[in-house]
Amino acid sequence: MGFLWCRKKPKNLYEYRLELTRKLRGKGYTEFETWHLLRLIDGLMPLPEELIVPLRKEVDRLQHPNPMPYVTSFERLARKEGRQEGHQEGRQEGRKEAILDILETRFGDVPATVRERINALCDEPKLKELLRRASVIPSLEEF
C-alpha cells in the first residue's frame, strides 16, 4: 500500500499511518526516536480531526501495551487548571516544537531569528500552516 494511493481517502490514510507505526516498532528504534518519527509523519500526512483520536489510542496501545496512555505535561497542566486555554497553549507549544524539529531534521541548525519568530506565534491556523510548510519547503531560506 503506498501513500499516494491513500491521500484522498482518510480511512486509507489512517490505515497507512498505523502500518508505518507498526513497522517503526519492529525496527528497533528507541521510544524517543519513534516519537520524533511519528511527529514527522504527522506533519507530512495530517489526518482529519475525526481520525486523530482513534489513531492516537491505537499508537498508545502499540507503544505501551499497558492500558495507561502517556499524558503530556501540557495535558496534565490543562487538566489541573481545568481550562481549555491550557490545552490550546499545549497544542501551540507542541506545534512550535514540531515545526522546529522538522526544520532541524531537514536543514540542520535553525537560526535564532527563525526560532524567535516561530516561538512568538500564537495563531493556531498559522502554526498549522507553518507545520505543513516546514515539511515540504525546498530550503530554509524559503521558509
Q: Residue 38: which pLDDT band, with cuts at 50, 70 and 90?
A: confident
User: Which residues contact residue 37 at a Cβ distance below 8 angstroms, ignoring those fewer than 6 apart?
Assistant: 24, 29
User: Which residues contact residue 54 at a Cβ distance below 8 angstroms, ignoring those fewer than 6 apart?
Assistant: 14
Cα–Cα distance list, 1 to 18, 40, 99 (Å): 12, 19, 28
What predicted TM-score, i.e. pTM, was given to this entire model? Answer: 0.41
Q: Give the tens place of pLDDT for each residue, 87-137.
A: 566 778 888 888 998 898 888 888 889 889 988 888 888 888 888 888 888
77's grid cell: 497542566
